[in-house]
Amino acid sequence: MAAPESLKVVYSDIAHQQIFAAMIYIARQGYPDTALRFADALYEFGQSLRYFPEKYAICKRKPFAAKQLRCAPLEHYVFLYRVESRRIIVHAVIHSSRIK
């Protein structure tokens, strides 16, 4: 495994869209400042995965496990990501109520 400072965290287009959707939802509830802070917190958490990328286990849900995705919870969201040799790919950021 590469040293943390050499690991790069990249987000799929879907992950970016999901973070944006969460931000828009919160903003539409009347909390635009909170929405921005929350989106920043999601991205900061994603970046923090580079320091201990194998901290979170492979997801137990079969479709995720089959793709070797790890599940990292943050508040009511779950980051689905995979560790590769020199990068971490965040495939999705899903509200926990949507994982069935």
Q: What CA–CA distance (Å, rounded) separates 100 from 83?
A: 23
Burial 59-97 (b: 16+ CB within 10 A, else e): beeeebeeeebbbbeeeebbbbbbbeeeebbbbbbbeee
Q: What CA–CA distance (Å, rounded) separates 55 from 51?
A: 9
How many domains is the chain built from? 1
- For residue 59, the domain's CATH number is 3.30.2310.20
Domain that holds residue 25: 4-98
Could you report the per-residue pLDDT of 46-94, keeping only the tens digit for each?
Answer: 999 999 999 999 999 999 999 999 999 998 999 999 999 889 999 999 9
pLDDT number for residue 85: 84
pLDDT score of 32 more than 60: yes
Nearest residue to 91 via CA among 17, 26, 38: 17
